[in-house]
Amino acid sequence: MVKLLRKRSHKAGLPPGSLVYIGEKKGRELMIRVLDYTASNVIDKEVKTVEECFTFKRKKSVTWINIDGVHRIDVIQKIGEHFELHPLMMEDILNTEQRPKIDNFGEHLFVVLKMFSFNGAKNEISSEQISLVLGPGYILSFQETIGDVFDAVRERIRKGRFRKRGADYLLYALIDAIVDSYFSILEQLGEKIAKLEEELIDHPDPETVENIHVFRREMLFLRKSIWPLREVLGNLQRTESKLIQKSTLFYLRDVHDHAVQIIDTTETFRDMLSGMLDIYLSAMSNRMNEVMKVLTIIGTIFIPLTFVTGLYGMNFDFMPELQWKYGYVFAISVMMGIVLSMLYYFKRKGWI
């Protein structure tokens, strides 16, 4: 929390729309990729300078400009000035701690989402902010680092049928690709949680409960980023922007349904982890009760034996059986009889 506040403190006192990068530099590289297409032609290339993108603004084709590396404030500023992006929009693009949301700026629709990746070795989920700007005939996408989940979208564009749609359909396709990637993350988490549940039943140990807490923390992080997605897609369906065609609304409803499924799955996993923690605590409590029962039985058995040995350990000159030849054997026999009688009684009562 302190680190997050320190990042935000750089903007203290600055006017709205000030361009300040907030986030970790996950990659120092900058990559700008342009994918421009019509029904009959596709241009897919990587450009070296941001100025090379400017010629695509007024073209009648659909253009997708993807910028990897939002830490480059100068690049974001040039893009924003040329495509006439609102200053508040550019400010939010540079703030990678944004909550998923949608804003309508008239000539542009601005959507912020989270893209996840799962490290199975460390059981960690990492996120990256994706900012999507829908304009008349183009999409601008801003990512924190190189690499995304949009390869399937690019492949569909190259095949041809996709190219008959407009930029609003491209926006849907990008959102759908991000949402579909959540299913993959949840599948991997589900496998890990299932293995953890088996481990909990077979041989629970302190490492098990530590893993439960790790997964609960990751699910809380995932839930925080996924829950607003339903609101974003709902607002996107209800928007009256001229940039969204009615035919695209049907596809957006489908993505909304997927988001609801993902939220339900996330809640199910959270409930499972909470239940697993309760099971672990109950198992530890039962194990402790079993140990205490055994110790109590042992202590109960030794109470009369201690009485017998204590009685014959008193230093009196005149005590019965002290000079008897078979006194020792008799005392041992009495104590063994007491032990066997008590074990029989405990067994009959079902205590052992």
pLDDT above 60: residue 266: yes
Q: Give me the mean pLDDT over the 266-272 stretch.
A: 90
Whether residue 85 contacts residue 131, with contact meaning beta carbons closer than 8 Å, is answered with no
pTM of the predicted model, to two decimals? Answer: 0.78
Tokens 């059986």 locate to: 321
213 pLDDT band (50/70/90 cuts)? confident
pLDDT of residue 67: 93
Q: Give me the mean pLDDT over the 49-68 stretch.
A: 90
Could you give all domains of the chain from N- to C-terminal order, each with its CATH number?
2-283 (3.30.460.20), 288-349 (1.20.58.340)
Rounded (10°) angle between helices 73-82 and 87-94: 150
Query: What single-letter amino acid sits at 226?
Result: I
The residues pairing with 128 across neighbouring beta strands, listed in sequence order, are: 115
- pLDDT tens, residue by residue, 298-317: 888 888 888 888 887 887 77
SS3 37: strand
CA distance 271 to 265: 10
CA proximity to 253, closest of 281, 277, 286, 230 = 230
CA distance 25 to 72: 10
pLDDT of residue 282: 80
pLDDT of residue 13: 59
pLDDT above 70: residue 26: no
* Helix (H) / strand (E) containing 208: helix 206-238
Share of the chain above pLDDT 70, in %: 94
Of 2-6, 14-18, 227-231, where does mean pLDDT reach its minimum? 2-6
Q: Which residues contact 225 (CB under 8 A, 6 or more apart)?
A: 100, 114, 116, 127
CA distances for 145 relative to 31, 66, 168, 256, angstroms = 9, 11, 24, 27
pLDDT of residue 137: 92
Strands 138-143 and 124-135: antiparallel
DSSP classification of residue 33:
E
- pLDDT tens, residue by residue, 110-147: 999 999 988 777 778 888 999 999 999 999 999 988 88
Q: Give me the mean pLDDT over the 61-74 stretch.
A: 91
CA proximity to 100, closest of 85, 83, 87, 116 = 116
Tell me the pLDDT of the chain averaged across its residues: 86
Compute the C-alpha angle 135/137/143, nearest 5°: 55
Whether residue 251 contacts residue 172, with contact meaning beta carbons closer than 8 Å, is answered with yes
CA distance 205 to 202: 10
CA proximity to 80, closest of 69, 94, 68 = 94
pLDDT of residue 42: 92
DSSP classification of residue 166:
-
28 pLDDT band (50/70/90 cuts)? low
Tokens 């703030």 locate to: 95
Following DSSP, what letter does each residue of 167-207 receive, concatenated?
HHHHHHHHHHHHHHHHHHHHHHHHHHHHHHHHHHHH---HH
